[in-house]
Structure 1
Amino acid sequence: MEIYEVIDSFRRFAETSWVTVMNINGHIGWDDNPYFEDDWLQANWELLVEKALLDEGQFLAPYGYNTPPACRYIMKERETTHHLCCRKKNAPDIGYFFCRFGSMEAGRFTLRPPYNFVSARKFGQEDIVELAYSDLDFFIKTDF
């Protein structure tokens, strides 16, 4: 599969599973497991994206805003070897490190479906930006 197909499959999986996962989280109890959603997304990121795009012994940066290896769901001791990156189709010379999917509600980025936006960091900067998913191309970067 091509990178975009893998990323889009993950996005659609997360979107269609959202209601079920939030129902389960409601039964588990938010106070007892405040990182349930993050853990669920990270575990599936490793299984559905990392395994599809990388070879054995290669590891993507964790999904979301926390990037230390301890944020991984399995193989927590493994250092990142690759980053998923993106760039705007109309500005291919500017790159971003992908962080996570989200949506815009009343002009604010939210961490829930329909996952039509991406949160990302511009190369060389720490500031987070939100970009329309449909405007992006994705690629893998090893030199970071």
Structure 2
Amino acid sequence: MLNGDMDLHSLIIKFRDFIALNWERILELDTQDESDALLIDWLQVNWEMLVERQIPNPKIILEIYGDGADNGRSSRIQFADALPTHRVLLKSKNRSLVFDHLNKKNVEIDEAPLTLDRFVSMRPDGWYYEEPPFDKALSFINGKEVVFNINDVEFILGHIVD
């Protein structure tokens, strides 16, 4: 639990719901934006506001979401010089193997929890896309992409060790 009845998993699911709900509108704005940074900046600022800032410990700075922001100094919007102290990890919800929808195989993720990169969806062509309904979580195992159903994982906080 982070604060009262709000836990990290719930914060992250609410973030996912928010980006899914507003995705069409932000894509419209992004196509009109000449900087090509509006979408990634929007994702990062909402990650910082809707997830990171809701964690009751102000000393926790999360790793960036997805590609982060196009900020010049860093990939963050606020506290641009701050280094991350924590990352969001994926853990099996049922302490069992989790099906990787991209590589079509079961994976053990609890021994070394994986870092959340971003939310995606799978299309019938078998590849993932950053688009609603954002019902999958993208991560990496030894540099190789893996995609898990968000109903099969739990999002937990992992401390970054120096």
State the TM-score, normalizing by the size of structure 2. 0.77
Matching residue of 2:121: 103
Shift in Å, 1:41: 0.3
What secondary structure does 2:74 align onto? helix
* 3-state SS of paired residue (1:70): coil
What is residue 63 of structure 2 aligned with on the other side? 61
One-letter amino acid of the counterpart of residue 133, structure 1: I
Corresponding residue pairs, total: 138
CA contact (8 A) 1:88 1:94 kept: no
Aligned-residue offset at 1:127: 2.6
- Cα 1:58–1:8, aligned 2, differ >3 Å: closer, same or farther? same
For 1:93, what is the secondary structure of its paired residue?
A: coil
Q: Aligned residue for 2:102?
A: none
Verify: 1:119 aligned to 2:101, yes or no. Answer: no
Question: Residues 97-122 of structure 1, C-alpha deviation per residue, up to 9 Å, x if partnerless?
Answer: 11100111121110111101111134
Q: Which residue of 1 aligns with 2:151?
A: 134
Shift of 1:66: 5.7
* C-alpha deviation, 1:19, in angstroms: 1.1
Q: Kindly provide the CA deviation profile for residues 32-59 of structure 1, in whole angstroms up to 9, marking residues without a partner as x.
A: 2212111100000000000112511320
In structure 1, the gaps of 5 or more residues are none
Q: What CA RMSD, in Å, does the superposition of the two structures yield over aligned residues?
A: 1.9
Could you tell me which runs of 5 or more consecutive residues in structure 2 were left unpaired when the two chains were aligned: 1-5, 98-109
Name the larger-Rg structure: 2
Report if the CA contact (8 A) 1:103-1:111 is conserved.
Answer: yes
Point out the more displaced range, 56-65 or 10-19: 56-65
1:39 aligns with 41
1:49 alignment partner in structure 2: 51
> What is the aligned-residue identity percentage?
24
Distance 1:96 1:78, change over 3 A: same
